[in-house]
Structure 1
Amino acid sequence: MRLFYQQKVIGKKSRKLQKIPFSIEEPVTTLQELLVQLVTQQVQQYNDKKVDTPLHLYLTDQQIEDAAQHGKVHFGEKKNDTLQSVDQAISTMLQAFQDELFLVLHNEDSLDSLTTPLTLQEDDVFTFIKLTMLAGRIW
């Protein structure tokens, strides 16, 4: 089943939300199962990314323009060659959700619990909003 996700960091006004497709292979019934599958896919994609330097060290004007819209112009290379642990990433994600460091929206509905039952349809959109802590002092 094909789904989409989009990410938003509060305070970054220039970033447009872009729908990124992902697919799930196993049926999911809860938010936790969906998040575990998504994190597993992301870690596998990261680990599969090559560490090699590119053959060409230039970007086209179109690539620069596209990257600038996302807020970061880079060659796409990976600087770290260590493989990331899927289990550690899942544990970190679950702890971050429990600590309310990010919000999850399913289409327009907020999901507040990992045990929230999901009814998924093709092309549903999940939005992840990373929350940032405010700096300051309480007088």
Structure 2
Amino acid sequence: MNIQIRVKQLGKRKPIIENKTLDIPKLNSGSTLKIFLERVVEQQVNTFNSRIDNPEVLNFLLPNQLDTMVSEGKVDFKESYNSEKAKVNEAQEVALLAFKDGIYKVFLDDDELENLDDTLEFTEKNTFTFIRLTFLAGGYY
């Protein structure tokens, strides 16, 4: 199933990821929030691991990509120098623990999803928003 996601961080005006479509296999409306998070993490881990298996031979930036990165304040080639593959089960456990600990919140359109056992009714037109609530490093005083 295709879903729309958006990722935000407190203290930032623009979303980190704005309306990205993810194809999540084995996900249906009527799933619990826990199953939803596990499926999203599984898809993201598989995408990460496939980049390790199939590296780009020649990586370069197009002018529009460069302009976007400059406006975001960071220009890079999106290279991953870590050749170790991620483990799906460990990543799912970390994501669920982080949700329970309040490190991030999940919204379905404008409704906050608070309980991992809640059943989600959604379509491909709905947008899931992930908001990271902690500043992980540094800060300005």
CA distance in 2, matches of 1:17, 1:111: 19
1:76/1:96 Cα in 2 relative to 1: closer, same or farther (>3 Å)? Answer: same
Could you give the per-residue CA deviations for residues 40-66 of structure 1, whole angstroms, max 9, x where no partner exists?
Answer: 00001011114757425x533222112
Residue 97 of structure 2 is aligned to residue 100 of structure 1? no
Q: Is the 8 A contact 1:10 1:131 kept in 2?
A: yes
CA distance in 2, matches of 1:52, 1:29: 34
Q: Is the 8 A contact 1:6 1:20 kept in 2?
A: yes
Match of 1:118 in 2: 120
Which runs of no fewer than 5 residues in structure 1 stay unpaired? 135-139
CA RMSD of aligned residues (A): 2.4
Aligned length: 134
Q: Is the 8 A contact 1:16 1:69 kept in 2?
A: no
Deviation at 1:104, TM superposition (A): 0.4
Match of 2:10 in 1: 10
The sequence identity of aligned pairs, in percent, is 31
Residue 65 of structure 2 is aligned to residue 55 of structure 1? no
Residue 43 of structure 2 is aligned to residue 41 of structure 1? yes
More displaced stretch, 9-18 vs 125-134: 9-18
Question: What residue identity is the alignment partner of 2:131?
Answer: I
Could you give the per-residue CA deviations for residues 13-58 of structure 1, whole angstroms, max 9, x where no partner exists?
Answer: 34465111012332252111111000000001011114757425x5
1:41/1:69 Cα in 2 relative to 1: closer, same or farther (>3 Å)? Answer: farther
Match of 2:131 in 1: 129
Which runs of no fewer than 5 residues in structure 2 stay unpaired? 137-141
Could you give the per-residue CA deviations for residues 65-124 of structure 1, whole angstroms, max 9, x where no partner exists?
Answer: 122344432112211100011111000001000101100000110000101111111221
Question: What residue identity is the alignment partner of 2:34?
Answer: Q
TM-score in terms of structure 2 length: 0.83
Q: Is the 8 A contact 2:41 2:91 kept in 1?
A: yes
CA distance in 2, matches of 1:34, 1:43: 14
CA distance in 1, matches of 2:4, 2:109: 10
Match of 1:85 in 2: 87
Q: Which is greater in Rg?
A: 1
